């Protein structure tokens, strides 16, 4: 019997992390894998889907410029309800903690469709940090039938919350599957960089940093660039207007800071490989960089990804201007401090997460026969 699995993706990181799962499902002869793009992101989602050769079967085209979280959620719920009622999937899968994922879990719950949560169990324990992702993943986790936890720590979080052990599988993070699939391919980086300068790669987009914290981050980057003429800062700017407008205004005129549009996934991996140091508030980058041996200073007060921090290869620096400058300067000046953080370790997976996730579904479908 053929079973229908609907994979839902909304934003860039979801597409990157779902791509290996979609590929693995497409290779199963008894599974009809359907892909639904909510397109909570438009340009950034399309880039990734195209890179992995994935054409969505359905597209909700939800993105509107700078829409509120309430509007986004309301529109997602209504549209997802319609699609789920007409598609009638046996299982729905979604990854992470965006508003797309929380809405997908809730829409499935109302229709009693079993929902599998990929990258389950990440927690900071603070509902406002990151905002709104901590709440999104707690809600998705409450409603999920299957919890695909990337690490022992995320599995323990779920067990502490009372999730039945039989419903949790430790899989590793599919971000490493995607990274290994991509690192094996040619990676063009079409940006002219000065080979004599050390590259500092930056990304930033977290909502809890909007406003003053993000201005502090920009001031720290400007100051680092001015104090260190031997570095070049490459900052692919997230298109969220709360980020983009401020970044271009504060950093657009510093000679050794290159601002650019978001890079396609493969060139971004190339930029990470080429970098000396990464400064970022991205979840995905915190997972990828350690596997590439690149130190990351995380522009956040806390993280739901403590594994790399515990290993000493990722450090939290928050959004305080002086702390960012001090910690980055230390890594630029002190080779020993740098070397202790630049170790190639991969606490987030071994590249086989997608196979494990599909294995759980295969077993479930066999038991239903
Ligand atoms: C979203 C997720 C966040 C995730 C991040 C990954 C929510 C609430 N936030 O944040 O968890 O870490 O994606 O990048 O789910 N925009 C474009 N083009 C794009 C994408 C976004 O112009 O391709 C602009 C639009 O004006 C859009 C705005 O950015 O309205 C915000 O997008 P949204 O998805 O709501 O939030 P992000 O900050 O991107
Ligand atoms: N990324 C990309 N281009 C960029 C910046 C990031 O392809 O210009 C990739 C990166 O490799 C990682 C993912 O996007 O896999 C992270 O996405 P983002 O930081 O937007 O979201 P988060 O992971 O914080 O949810």
Q: Where are the domains of the chain?
A: 3-172+352-368, 198-341
Establish whether residue 236 lines the binding site of ligand 2, counting it when its CB lies within 6 angstroms of any ligand atom.
yes
Establish whether residue 13 lines the binding site of ligand 2, counting it when its CB lies within 6 angstroms of any ligand atom.
yes
Establish whether residue 285 lines the binding site of ligand 2, counting it when its CB lies within 6 angstroms of any ligand atom.
yes
CA distances from 302 to 43, 112, 252, 368 (A): 29, 35, 29, 42
Phi, psi (deg, nearest 5) at residue 255: -55, -40
Q: Contact at 8 Å (CB) between 83 and 8? A: no
Counting ligand 1 atoms within 8 A of each CB, the residue from 73, 97, 98 with the most, and so the one to mutate, is 98
Give the residue numbers annotated as catalytic, written as ranges: 97, 119, 133, 205, 207, 238
Q: What is the pLDDT of residue 187?
A: 80
* Nearest ligand 1 atom, CA 283: 12
- Homologous superfamily of domain range 198-341: Glycogen Phosphorylase B; (3.40.50.2000)
Q: Do the domains spanning 3-172+352-368 and 198-341 agree at the CATH topology level? A: yes
Distance (angstroms) between ligand 1 centre and the Cα of 40 equals 7
The 8-class DSSP code of residue 209 comes to G
Pocket of ligand 1 (CB under 6 A): 11-13, 40-44, 63-67, 69, 72, 98-99, 132-133, 205, 239-241
User: How many whole angstroms separate alpha carbon 195 and alpha carbon 96?
Assistant: 37
Distance (angstroms) between ligand 2 centre and the Cα of 284 equals 6
Q: Whose CA is nearest to atom 36 of ligand 1?
A: 240
Distance (angstroms) between ligand 1 centre and the Cα of 331 equals 31
Distance (angstroms) between ligand 1 centre and the Cα of 11 equals 7
Q: Whose CA is nearest to atom 24 of ligand 2?
A: 282
Q: What is the pLDDT of residue 190?
A: 87
Q: Whose CA is nearest to atom 32 of ligand 1?
A: 240
Stretches in the chain below the pLDDT threshold 50? none
Q: What is the pLDDT of residue 369?
A: 83
Distance (angstroms) between ligand 1 centre and the Cα of 224 equals 27
Question: 3-172+352-368, what's its fold?
Answer: Rossmann fold (3.40.50)
Q: Whose CA is nearest to atom 13 of ligand 1?
A: 11
Distance (angstroms) between ligand 1 centre and the Cα of 366 equals 38
Question: Which runs of consecutive H residues, i.e. helices, occur in 147-263?
Answer: 152-160, 174-183, 212-227, 241-251
* Nearest ligand 2 atom, CA 133: 25
Establish whether residue 283 lines the binding site of ligand 2, counting it when its CB lies within 6 angstroms of any ligand atom.
yes
* Nearest ligand 1 atom, CA 240: 29
Establish whether residue 16 lines the binding site of ligand 2, counting it when its CB lies within 6 angstroms of any ligand atom.
yes
Establish whether residue 243 lines the binding site of ligand 2, counting it when its CB lies within 6 angstroms of any ligand atom.
no
Distance (angstroms) between ligand 2 centre and the Cα of 29 equals 32
């Amino acid at each position: 019997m053929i079973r229908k699995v609907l994979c839902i993706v909304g934003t860039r990181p979801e597409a990157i992390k779902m791509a290996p799962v979609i590929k693995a499902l497409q290779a199963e002869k008894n599974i009809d894998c359907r892909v639904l793009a909510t397109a909570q992101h438009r340009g950034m989602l399309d880039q990734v889907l195209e890179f992995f050769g994935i054409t969505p079967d359905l597209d909700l085209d939800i993105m509107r410029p700078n829409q509120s979280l309430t509007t986004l959620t309301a529109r997602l719920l209504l549209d997802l309800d319609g699609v789920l009622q007409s598609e009638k999937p046996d299982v729905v899968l979604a990854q992470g903690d965006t508003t797309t994922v929380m809405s997908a879990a809730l829409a499935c719950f109302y229709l009693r469709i079993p929902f599998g949560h990929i990258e389950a169990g990440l927690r900071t324990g603070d509902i406002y940090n990151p905002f709104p992702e901590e709440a999104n993943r707690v809600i998705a986790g409450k409603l999920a039938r299957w919890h695909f936890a990337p690490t022992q720590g995320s599995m323990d979080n779920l067990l502490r919350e009372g999730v039945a052990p039989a419903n949790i599988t430790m899989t590793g993070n599919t971000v490493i599957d995607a990274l290994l699939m991509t690192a094996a391919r040619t990676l063009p980086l079409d940006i002219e960089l000065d080979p004599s300068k050390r590259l500092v790669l930056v990304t930033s987009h977290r909502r809890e940093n909007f406003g003053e914290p993000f201005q502090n981050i920009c001031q720290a980057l400007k100051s680092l660039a001015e104090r260190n003429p031997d570095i070049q800062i490459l900052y692919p700017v997230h298109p969220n207007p709360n980020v983009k407008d401020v970044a271009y205004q504060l950093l657009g005129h510093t000679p050794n800071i290159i601002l650019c549009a978001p890079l396609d996934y493969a060139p971004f991996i190339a930029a990470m490989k080429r970098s000396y140091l990464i400064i970022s508030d991205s979840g995905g980058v915190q997972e990828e960089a350690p596997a590439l041996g690149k130190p990351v200073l995380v522009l956040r007060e806390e993280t739901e990804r403590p594994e790399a921090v515990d290993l000493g290869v990722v450090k939290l620096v928050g959004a305080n201007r002086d702390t960012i400058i001090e910690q980055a300067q230390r890594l630029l000046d002190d080779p020993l401090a740098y070397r202790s953080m630049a170790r190639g370790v991969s606490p987030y997976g071994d590249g086989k997460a997608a196979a494990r996730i599909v294995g759980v579904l295969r077993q479930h479908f066999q038991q239903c026969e």
